[in-house]
Structure 1
């Protein structure tokens, strides 16, 4: 009985549990009509939350933030849930059709039961997921810079420049850095190295952005290139306006520490229009760009401007060797030496070295290399014409006008590596009519200087010392290629400068030429009578000319510039020179001519006559009334002048060489702008010469030599020399003081005489044994070059006591001296103790030389700030350097890298 009772109770429990189970399963079916709308509502809420969060993540990524992994996981799960829920809702009509008996039963109970259960489960999952999606932040700042590493070649010779740029990057004061240089010099390679270096450094920049700008600069193109770097990739953003894109880019970058690299700028890029916040010390961001012109660096307000130079010979060879390969270089014993000649022709320009190196990689015979060298000389090597010249021509094409382009071509008339005097170049341009903005040379010189500076800034010319420029070999070849091939109809250049010619070119060669240069050859005689109906320029300088036939100049009716300088064996001009009725520039400097022919009178258009450095000083004759016949003459160079111009004059004349008759003739030249005179040797001669306003206003260089009639020189006697640039005191053994008498006597007028010497930039004092100081230099505000030598009693350059006296009497403080000084040379000044009694900034000083006995000069007006940027080079003997006293060891150590010991 007990067993039966037990069995019965167990069965009842089973039925009860089964009933509950059936009822629960039935609920999945019965409540289906209610749960489906609830699920739809929950799905709508999940979608909205997903969309909102995805937008937050997108904005964060555009702002270069990194989304949290939990957020990414939530979004991923939400996406999966939405897909499943949408599928359930999509299947719901079919399941609802199975319901019957008031939706409490189903024609297919099992199917409806499973569907209802999935609906309930999905609803619960969605509710749980929505509750977990309440994130305070969706992203964080990225731990390191976002850099797209660019393909690169191993740089050769750029290492020091890379370090220089990187030094500017870590300098908080430098926000904008401009890298400029010749086309093909390696600027893009350098910028690529900088870009990739950010990927391996710990510098905390949020993003590094690269954009190629190029010649066809367009704001929108730059924006699109930048946009891809900061998350703006969809087509809808690209369809926005320039202003809208600028706002978006600015919104991303304004709170970030960024680096923007812009490659190949040809003109100013307006950062505001692009949307780039201006880098500053506050935001710590950087803008680094490359350009071919220094002017672009200025327009972009670059805080630091770094010129990318051509390679030094050793590095140039290393690059060329890497491209040619040792197998080729060693394939014949003679090739190595020939390859060195090729490298030399490339002038250290990486583009030329790489291009020619690759072209020669399979040339294994000496004849092939000799041919390549010859083609390089003629600017006809195919690789240069097809790959190198066109790239360089972009810089030429970008010059603002035809005049500047032709002025560049004009430089090709000088031979390779020639140091072209700036003034000579401007003088020739003026006589050629290229500087047509002005009629007077003194004004045209400003235009000429502007053109030269523009060509320098465009890296199409190079500085070669203070007063000289030169053309890079490859630039010269490019310019000749343009002049002789592309623009032959306009200019028709014929250039055989430095070609080792023993005889003049064939007469037929001259017929079509407009500009001709056969300078720096070995011609002795010009025998031909060439017919040159179009010739305007003829360079015959630096030959061995001894004879020019009388008929040589007969058929050159339009010749404007004739340069015969540095033909020391040329003693006579042919009478036929009278046929050059269009001649405006005649350069006879450094020739052996003994007499100017009277036939020169027919050269009525002459604007420039250069008779300086004539070989036969005391024997050359100038016919009377010849000089005065050149009524249009603006430039007349006479120094060093001969003693006896006129045969009947006494030797002891007022200017030790310039007699009264010649002075009278010079005074007739109403257009005279530039007059070069010999050293003046007495106060009387100086006063006599300066009594003529025309002379005062036309002298640029004045030498006072061997003054013996005065021990005091009043510098203000020169105050009205409007063009004085260079002043020399030489061997004035009796001169004890150079003073400013007028200034000291004009107490009531309170006049500052600094402006009276604003053109003076060069001062040389040599062999003035009694001078004790040069305090007057305080009133030369634009002094750039100062040389003082062999002054045995010189104690101070600037005297504190004398300057104090000037300030007290005049009632005005004296200015800081040497603010524009670039070079200071001191030589054999055994008593010199002081340059200046206080520290000076020397913002432009580049070279400071102390030579010979200057043993008492133990204190220099320098401190650690004077060496900032390490731009000063100090040259001096080691024994002097060891005795210099510094304010502290740190200052001394700062200048050690600047020190150079002379090689002698």
Structure 2
């Protein structure tokens, strides 16, 4: 090859283009490496955008067409890169220059695609808004005539404004919830909008609630907001329900058009005041108390029919029901407090107590309170009563998460036990008692967490109770922009709640003289909810000067940047909650806060731990996470010997953590397996009750970790371990708890299969398995190594970016030779399978494995380019199929996946069939079907319910079918020609939701 050098020198004389060719020839390897790096960067951006895309889809948004096209461009470039890699390794010497020129062009193309992938205005747009929200409703007792009267007004053209009035607790809201749901069910209007107004009128919140239901964003300017809202409502047929209106307000100030008769614009408001309804020009519909018969029926439905079996008891029950005055809330609440009581003496005593209370009533509200106070007093335990009253510190009609409320009760000292687990049990027991006594209502909150809500009348009663002695000062969720004046901070205040407001500033001259104040709640909604972010960034030095009795201070999710030094003097402080204070940069010395049991600094902006933090020897709860912190200084952690709850994403030392013997709940990171194993060894098999441990030097502390980084905030319900970039097989035996729930492997390239993992053989409670970007794995379970019995309990299996994965279960060669098969029970509990970017997989389930998948509910496959079949056919079936896929032979139908609820197939270019001939999937539970990018798939083997005449019927649970393109759907072959007509009514070609 030496003779080529002089030749190149001669060639240079022939011109620039030839020289460029020679340069490219020489730099081919350098250019290919450069292209690899740029394609890798491109894929990193793609991963980030995919996470944004998934988050937006969860918010019911629709991904932009330009974003989808960009993803396609990235995939095209990945394909081009693979083609170039193959050519690079096989290219002849004379053609290197031509390939190099092509690589240079690709480098520029990748640069351009990378620049196009910024999408500063977001990756998704709002989807078409739903017509409304279906509300949970109790059974409607009585009031049928009133409901029909309201319905008649809504259906006619004579009335635009309807006012439903009646005393508190009489059932106005319940009636309107039933009407809301009926309007949605019958689809008579474009929109049905529900807004809770409440006592503290908040125009901003009303506007936001209406705008959110319309998928409309509003500016901050008040006049502009009203104008935009009015424009979005005009021209639509809608019913706007304004629940719990206490005083007159102008519809035009909000942006609600005056209803025009005959245009399908209706406004319904509920109010305790008939004057309010009349002042707003409403057609008044008055809700009357229940009749004696209706009252008794409602009471017995909640207390049980058995109480009237005894003749003497029947008369007592009748008198108790009469004392309720036909008010559904009073009837249900008192019935709840007497449920399970069968002693006639106790019933007689209850009647006497109720009679004494009702005799002292003064005014309508007090009449209701006296009935309800009966149930409050029957709680007996003052601590349970205080737990109930504490709920009044939250805004009206606000869903309070159960876990959050229990934490607050612990902070207040209303719940105490030796262990945190026992306190949680006690908290749930109290909540159950309050729910069973109908003093709280169980609801599902906005984040789908189980929550409780306090009826506004019960909240009024609770605040009425606190009006006699040490008082509550409560102004919550009212868009308050100024701190209450100093004269309002009286000396008898016990608890002050100003949560969820928009206080712009805390004046420097305000120094409330509240020596008895024990609780101060100034927190904002997480993400500031519907309200604008609070403006104050700091608290004046003298604000806490006279609050030396303060025990609980909550400033979470506020805009505060530092705390004053005077916070150090609050020696009685029991809980300091600063979670979500992203701008918090400074904390003064904590040395004197020896009473502090809870310190929550999760998601703050601290760059170092607070001064003298090691002095907090009584801490039982520590939340600590900040972008500026990586790990705790050595020696601090062991000082917290009483710690029961630790939530952090800092790297911890295993041996130090192991010295905290009282830990019950923990989330943390370990730098490597060595630190994790040091911790496991030091605790000698006594693991915390719940834990989230992530192991690996490349863990992204603030970015994504399997998409569940938010779980680290609250480890109460988890038993998870994550391994990222670890050499699992070289580590030797790894000690893990046998009750491990979920495990995750990412970028653990030496992992071959789960059968190699010794610690999984003893786990008896596994329910989730995630494996991501592990290059070495070829199968999930290898039966030649071990049966891997722990897999039998796995309910969720998620596999992604496994470039060498070939099969889920591998059967030993000796087993195959004897025609034996895999144990179908390997994944017998499996409910969901997610497979993404596994380019070598050709089949998902074998016929034998499928026999054990009787509980499978979700199957999602995405971007598996070699996938040909979802369910493999056995050899006999294969012989009965010709090359065109036409079915022959037996007419016997085999049903598989009987509980399938969702089937999603995306980007499977070689997929030819879901299953073989004669195999069908029943649709009794099917809710959603999504298929895109599967051009070779010709048949969808769905078995629809059959009518008596043999025709196919609608699947009972099916909600939506999303397919693309339309031409592909219309070309499909169906076993029953009637099926496509039935299913087409569910089809959408635009988006999945």
Question: TM-score under structure 2 normalisation?
Answer: 0.45
Flag the structure with higher helix content.
1
More strand by share: 2
TM superposition score normalised by structure 1: 0.49
Choose between structure 1 and 2 for higher RCO, CA contacts under 8 A separated by at least 6 residues. 1
